[in-house]
Amino acid sequence: MAGRAPQGVLSGGSDAPAYILLGNAVSQGKGLTYFGQATAIRPPLYPLMLGGLNIVFGSYSLLIMRIVQVIAAIVTSWICAQTAVQLWGENSKWATFGFAMFMPTLLFFTPQILTEIFAAFFASLFLYFLVHFDREEDRKSLVGMGVCAGLLMLLRFNAVFVPVVAALAASRVPVNWAIIKRALIPVAISAAIISPWIVRNLVVFQSDVLYSSQTGTTALQGALSPQGRTQSGESESWRRAGWWISDIETDNSRRLQFPSEVELDRTARHEAIRAWKELGFGAIPLLATKVSSFWLSTDQLMATTSFPRGQRLLRAMGVLFYWGTLGVATVGWFRLRKTAPRIAYLFALYCAALTMLHLFFTMNTRLRVPFIDPLLCILVGGQISAALSMNIPDGGLLKMSAPTPD
């Protein structure tokens, strides 16, 4: 077990040190800074949580965070189970709960000092409220979607698509002013939640950064090292921008050799535009490779050369399990489309929006897991329960709502 160590034994190099440095800076009253230099490379919520734990628990803060993440993972599985109940009926609860508890991709991130587990928690809760609103059209579900969207945006910058999905979930045809106002509720709530972060950036970076200072760097990575992996050779190929993120995310004086993140990100954006132009038609196979890494986890098969053999084998086994999960979930989606087509298409829109958002940035398994894998567990749980019990009606929402005779 990782315990109080910065990284777990299965980690092959990750963003954990950067988050720990930010947590330390917060607990020392320095704010979100690296060696006194303001940063907006990482979303703020997780470092703030680490900083709070540092203040309360000191050297045991990472152990406490891991314990909290285990609890969050269990609750995430329970939320997936409750969402499955809404879709498939009561008999799907425990199948979904058990499957989500042992989903390899979710298990892997539980002990890591990373944002994935909390992001998966709020993503699963968002999906629960989305389904509940489709059934009940209640205001509480709208508020729930908005809160989840806002907190996700403070955990992961790539969650910017979630408020859009919430607005579409709240919409109906024909569109009128009442529908528009209803659709804007989750958007307004999520905007209110992230507004302190945006105001902070506008003040600290003198209006040059709004939400993130990592846009240019990830766009350049998307062209030069598209899987965004920490494997040998990737940082070297990326250094055409003149720096690497590890040069900036440090607590020693070498950070002072570089300008502010505003200038660095501006340089990276210019290099990214040039890199994508140079690709030309070569962008087509590159995009295909990126989508494959994102949806089929091929990065965990082909970009693990620096890992020990045992860890490479373990990751390959996880990929095979995931492929089976994706296949069963696809069957579950087609089943859902017959019984609750609107929810099925909202799920598809959710997945498509996340995929499109990443096309010109980095794409890998880690970016997919917290948003997609809880949804896969929900869909798989319904299929498992259907296979195990002939008493489950093949009718989903519509048949489950029919009254039973006395």
Q: What are 288-321's pLDDT values in tens digits?
A: 999 999 999 998 888 777 778 888 898 899 999 9
**Domain contains 268:** yes
Residue 126 reports pLDDT greater than 50? yes
Residue 45 reports pLDDT greater than 90? yes
Sign of CA dihedral 66, 72, 75, 77: negative
pTM strictly above 0.85: yes
Q: How far is CA 254 from the centre of its chain?
A: 31
Query: Which is higher by pLDDT, 285 or 304?
Result: 285
**Domain contains 283:** yes
Element counts in the chain: helices (H) and strands (E): 19, 2
Structural domain boundaries, residue 33: 16-223+260-387
Q: How many CB atoms lie within 10 A of CB 365?
A: 26
**Domain contains 403:** no
**Domain contains 2:** no
Please state, in angstroms and rounded to a whole number, the distance separating the CA atoms of residues 380 and 385: 9
**Domain contains 63:** yes
Please state, in angstroms and rounded to a whole number, the distance separating the CA atoms of residues 243 and 256: 13
Number of domains in the chain: 1
**Domain contains 52:** yes
pLDDT tens digits, one per residue of 321-360: 999 999 999 999 999 999 999 999 999 999 999 999 999 9
**Domain contains 255:** no
Residue type, 272: A
Q: Where are the alpha helices (DSSP H) in 7-60?
A: 16-27, 45-57
**Domain contains 107:** yes
Please state, in angstroms and rounded to a whole number, the distance separating the CA atoms of residues 15 and 109: 12
